[in-house]
Amino acid sequence: MTDGTVPGVGLPSARRHADLLVIGGALVTPNGVERADVACAAGRIVALGDLQCSWTADATLDAKGLHVLPGVIDSQVHFREPGLTHKETLEAGTRGAALGGVTAVFEMPNTQPLTLRAEDLRAKLDAAQGRAWCDHAFYIGGSSVNAEHLEYLESLPGCAGVKIFMGSSFGDLLADDDEVLCRILAHGRRRMAVHAEDEARLRERRIIAESSGDVRQHPVWRDARSALLATQRIVKLAGDTGRRLHILHVSTAEEIAFLADRKDRVTVEVTPHHLTLEAPECYERLGTLAQMNPPVRERCHRNALWQAIREGVGDVIGSDHAPHTPKEKSRPYPASPSGMTGVQTLVPVMLDHVHRGQLSLQRFVDLTSAGPARIFGVEGKGRIALGYDADLTLVDLAARRTIRNDWIASVSGWTPYDGIGVTGWPIHTVVRGHIVVRDEALVGTTPLGRPLRFLEAPPRVPAGV
């Protein structure tokens, strides 16, 4: 690999200077895995190659024995600020992200107040200023009250796009009837993120949960058909308007089969918990700690999700980090809220799957860096290449660790993977050339996270064109 400079063309023979040099790592680049150094300056990658003799730097990171991934982007987290900071905060949530090797997050709108207006988005961006340990963007919630303003709202700086809940989950954000959904779809161009569970069916079937009081009934109440009906309905409605969609936390074999040949307009998120846990074992072992919406389901669905990961139907892995306190989670089902932490464990849990041969390291990078950058139009992130933001996740693929609750930075302070041994661990985290985590510990006391920048969304392509 060249070092990105052009010998003899106006360049002095003197050594060049960087803010940070990352030395001796195995880089996962679009060309594959290659041993090379990385020079970072002014937040960007400015040189790649054998740099130790030709570059000096203010800071150096020894990456020998480590793999250097493009910064991991977690495109689905709930950080509960404002209004629910007894569960999570922007500071603790982004600290957990950085300690887990995540360099950028997309945060969800079901806070209190909901993120529905420009001032709600502004308030979150202001709250993150000087308190976020990683880069960030915030979804605007799509609803009947702001449908006609969404084209303007989704264009605002720091906005990750529009997210809708078709089925009620946590909070009051809900868009469940076709008329409201069509109004939301008609206003905006960016790919819209969807929580796809069918509200009418959930209401009909809630009696299953209430009459049993047994969390093992959660995937029966919120069954596969509830997910498929909603996914089919929103894809049909969006097809009529040409709007691109991103179906969050796809949880069923039926949705994967349905979405596999609709990839021209619909992208697919899969979560680590739907790939790692399975019913009924997870409910027997973890009780309501395993309760998520949509639910973790039985093995046939998990196998289908893995097939989707291997065959490219899955586009991104997002954690759906959704903290609730242990006290809240211990309420009797179904009064127990659905949700679990996940932003800090996304990398180690998925690297353990890499270790077990479930997916390649390159595929993991595809799903957590190149994929999110591509489908959300993130500017300057998603790969290790000249001119890109110097976001780097440095991991030890051979490191064995046991995940513990006391490692979790989240205000809620627990993980469903407590006590689970993994092979593969995040060691250093670099955000725009700043070492945020070194040797698994936070560096400094000043969070430097900034809002993400997005490329102009492409025009919609109406059906039949």
Radius of gyration, CA atoms only, the chain: 22
Q: Does 273 bind ligand DOR (CB under 6 A)?
A: no
- Using CB under 6 A, which residues numbered 163 to 192 contact ligand DOR? 169-170
Q: Does 408 bind ligand DOR (CB under 6 A)?
A: no
Task: Select from 94-102, 140-148, 331-339, 368-376 the region that touches ligand DOR (CB under 6 A).
Answer: 331-339
> Cα–Cα distance between 411 and 373 in angstroms, integer?
28
CB 212 → ligand DOR: shortest distance, Å?
A: 19
Q: Is 74 a catalytic site residue?
A: no
- In 3D space, the residue among 329, 167, 295, 305 whose CA is nearest the CA of residue 221 turns out to be 295
> Cα–Cα distance between 427 and 437 in angstroms, integer?
7
Provide the Cα torsion 221, 414, 392, 131; round to 10°: 110
Q: Does 93 bind ligand DOR (CB under 6 A)?
A: no
The site map against ligand DOR for 107-146 (x = CB under 6 A) is ---x------------------------------------
Query: Which residues lie below 8 Å from residue 232, measured CB to CB, with a gap of 6+?
Result: 258
CB 11 → ligand DOR: shortest distance, Å?
A: 52
Q: Does 274 bind ligand DOR (CB under 6 A)?
A: no
- Using CB under 6 A, which residues numbered 334 to 373 contact ligand DOR? 337-339
CB 433 → ligand DOR: shortest distance, Å?
A: 33
Secondary structure (3-state) at 206:
helix
> Cα–Cα distance between 298 and 288 in angstroms, integer?
16
Which tokens is 362 given?
């390159």
Nearer to ligand DOR by Cβ, of 169 and 393: the residue is 169
CB 232 → ligand DOR: shortest distance, Å?
A: 19
Q: Does 79 bind ligand DOR (CB under 6 A)?
A: no
Nearer to ligand DOR by Cβ, of 189 and 218: the residue is 218
Q: Does 105 bind ligand DOR (CB under 6 A)?
A: no
User: With contact defined as beta carbons under 8 Å apart, do 289 and 415 qualify?
Assistant: no
CB 295 → ligand DOR: shortest distance, Å?
A: 9
SS3 content of the chain, % helix, strand, coil (to 5): 30, 25, 45
Q: Does 218 bind ligand DOR (CB under 6 A)?
A: no
Q: Does 231 bind ligand DOR (CB under 6 A)?
A: no
Q: Does 271 bind ligand DOR (CB under 6 A)?
A: no
State the helix-helix crossing angle for 178-186 and 224-241, rounded to 10 degrees. Answer: 50
- Binder among 293, 369, 410, 415 for ligand DOR (CB under 6 A): 293
120, 198, 315, 320: which is the annotated catalytic residue?
320
Q: According to the 3-state scheme, what is the secondary structure of 127-155?
A: HHCCCCCCEEEEEEECCCCCHHHHHHHCC
> Cα–Cα distance between 129 and 123 in angstroms, integer?
10
Task: Select from 98-106, 332-340, 345-353, 402-410 the region that touches ligand DOR (CB under 6 A).
Answer: 332-340
- In 3D space, the residue among 175, 108, 95, 180 whose CA is nearest the CA of residue 134 turns out to be 95
Q: Does 321 bind ligand DOR (CB under 6 A)?
A: no
- In 3D space, the residue among 220, 166, 169, 172 whose CA is nearest the CA of residue 197 turns out to be 166
- Binder among 98, 256, 270, 292 for ligand DOR (CB under 6 A): 292
- Using CB under 6 A, which residues numbered 36 to 65 contact ligand DOR? none
| Number of residues located near ligand DOR, criterion CB under 6 A | 11
What per-residue string of b and e applies to 24-59 under the rule 16 or more CB within 10 Å gives b?
bbbbbbeeebeebbbbbbebbbbbbbebeebbebeb
Nearer to ligand DOR by Cβ, of 186 and 220: the residue is 220
- Binder among 78, 189, 246, 432 for ligand DOR (CB under 6 A): 78
Q: Counting runs of H as helices and runs of E as strands, what totals does the chain give?
A: 15, 17
**Which residue ranges make up the site for ligand DOR (CB under 6 A)?**
78, 110, 169-170, 195, 292-293, 322, 337-339
Catalytic residues: 320
